[in-house]
Chain A
Amino acid sequence: MTRLSDEELMAFADGQLDDAQMREIAPLVASDPAMAAEVERLRAGTAALRGAFRGQLELETPARLREVVAKAPASNVAILKRRPAQAPIWAAAAAAAACLVVGLGIGRGFGGADSLFEMGADHALVAASDLRGALENSPSGSGVGEVRVALTFPEANGGYCRVFRIDRTAGAATAGLACKAVNDWTVVALGEAGSTASHGAMAQAGGDIPEAVLQAAANRQGGDALDANAEAAALRAHWKVH
């Protein structure tokens, strides 16, 4: 039996090893009750800590902190040219969809076989399973399983984002925005659908879309939504940008 160090086991529990190492270690852990229990304990510790801080990200920002930024001279803030390509949005997305994310666990793909989300390499929340399939392959207006894609729009940098909706047979409907990173669809925003006011073309296309998703879409949008032909071409090119 291969002995893993405490640190290796912890890195495994946290999903921090590369894919090959994860695949190598998973069966060792699964076949050793003591190691499996330790992995569970480590993950439960993280879940407990994260749980203790749940709700913190949704607290209203005090006015004095907002004003520190809002009142800074424009010369200080005009330097930045564009949004970082890989903004780590999982935290914000998780806050918007705490109920969905609680079950995710910390590792890559540990959300269960049918989870629509998993944790990507840089801790971004990425689409999995039917959500990934729908975003990758479904024209707007269609989908896979409980997922429907509402529309596609281009990003300013030439990439693509898609607004989707998940109508679960049990529980509230969810709407979200995902943008194609290199291989994955990064979930940029998520929210409960159905109860919030909706706006304009996007709402017409997608039904009720929560404000957080509309806001995220507005921030990323680099042009008008694709028409059916343009979208079909992007689909055929597997969303590659030339």
Chain B
Amino acid sequence: MVDTAENTRAELIALIPRLRQFALAMTGNRADGDDLVQDVLERALTRLHQYEVGTRLDSWVYRIAQNCWIDQVRKLKSRARLVVADPDADAPGIDGAAAMNATLTLSKALSVLAQLPEEQRVVVVLVQVDGYSYREASEILGVPEGTVTSRLSRARAALNAEVFGVRA
């Protein structure tokens, strides 16, 4: 078997696609997203001694991602923010078999997410995009599960109206 250091590197590298998706969804554009991922990886690597062996590496890295992102938001807020949609992002995002004939493109999804308050956006991204449970999201964010639920519920009232038109 390969040695443990190489395993850890491999696990971190394997997490990069998910981190990039998270960061893209949070920042609204690829360049800021990848800068965020780089910060996260650097911070994770210098803090590995804080990682508790046997717990989930991904949750731990996501907690770091959340903290890095908060830092980045603080920096970004001091300058005007331009959300640049990717030019290749306008291909239909879901196929015809998907429910309600909805076609949500990546750029549309990013612009809708960008309209959410930050604390709601992160919950939507963790749960709906990344597939974490409410409990896992609450652990990553360090907030009670009820807070996750109420933020998610409020976000989706707005999101679903945006994606599917008027609420039923």
A→B interface (CB under 8 Å): 6-7, 10-11, 14, 16, 34, 37-38, 40-54, 56-59, 61-62, 64-66, 68-70, 72, 74, 76-88, 90-92, 94-95, 102-103, 121-123, 156, 219, 222
Contact = CB atoms under 8 A, between A and B. Distances in A.
A188 B28 CA distance: 30
A42 B164 CA distance: 10
Given A57-B17, A84-B58, 6 more contacts: A14-B127, A40-B99, A45-B160, A69-B13, A72-B45, A92-B14
B94 A48 contact: yes
Nearest to B168: A37
- Nearest first, the 4 A-B pairs at minimum CB distance are A51-B94, A52-B109, A52-B93, A44-B99
Interface of B: 1, 3-5, 7-14, 16-18, 20-21, 24-25, 34, 37-38, 41-42, 45-46, 48-49, 51, 53-58, 93-95, 97-100, 102-106, 108-109, 124, 127-134, 136, 149-150, 152-153, 156-157, 159-160, 163-164, 168
A122 B136 contact: yes
Contacts of B94: 47-48, 50-52, 54
Contact of B41 (A51, A53, A65, A121): A65
Contacts of B159: 45, 49
A34 B168 CA distance: 8
A53 B7 contact: no
B10 to A, nearest CB: 8
Nearest to B55: A84
A10 B149 contact: yes
A88 B48 CA distance: 19
Contacts of A11: 134, 149
27 contacts: A11-B149, A41-B160, A41-B168, A48-B99, A49-B104, A50-B128, A50-B129, A53-B109, A53-B129, A54-B94, A61-B16, A61-B20, A65-B20, A68-B38, A68-B45, A69-B12, A72-B9, A78-B8, A79-B8, A79-B49, A80-B4, A80-B53, A84-B55, A87-B57, A87-B58, A123-B133, A123-B136
